[in-house]
Structure 1
């Protein structure tokens, strides 16, 4: 889907917000009786929760730095 090791996701609050947003969207779709979309966003929430919270490995500081 997208690069989970991007430096954008380094702060913990951004990773948590991303996961909460996905699950909140799934809950909204479920409340609107849209089961298919609720399952899709629930799966995306589970995927992001695993990669951004459980199996998080911070990106290298300067991967693209060619100072040497």
Structure 2
């Protein structure tokens, strides 16, 4: 079981993937402005991980080209 599965039907619409990334990175900014460095690092890392998994990983590039991504990663 993957913690973040980009193949899940919930993430099929692009706007949902963009919203998840924007929410995580936006919340990181809120935490920075509030002075909570630890939470800012945590939510920023989560946002960057989502960005990679949804848009930058090799499997995401294969999905964008319409190929079937392999389940190995």
Q: TM-score if structure 1 supplies the norm length? A: 0.77
Q: Which has the higher helix share?
A: 2
Aligned residues: 59
Q: Kindly report the root-mean-square deviation, in angstroms, between the aligned alpha carbons of the 2 structures.
A: 1.5
Check conservation: 1:19, 1:45, Cα contact below 8 A: yes
What's 2:71 paired with? none
Q: Distance in 2 between matches of 1:34 and 1:11?
A: 32
Aligned with 1:19 (options 13, 21, 37): 21
Larger radius of gyration: 1
- Gapped runs of 5+ residues in structure 2? 69-73
Runs of 4+ in 1 over 4 A off after TM superposition: none
Check conservation: 1:20, 1:45, Cα contact below 8 A: yes
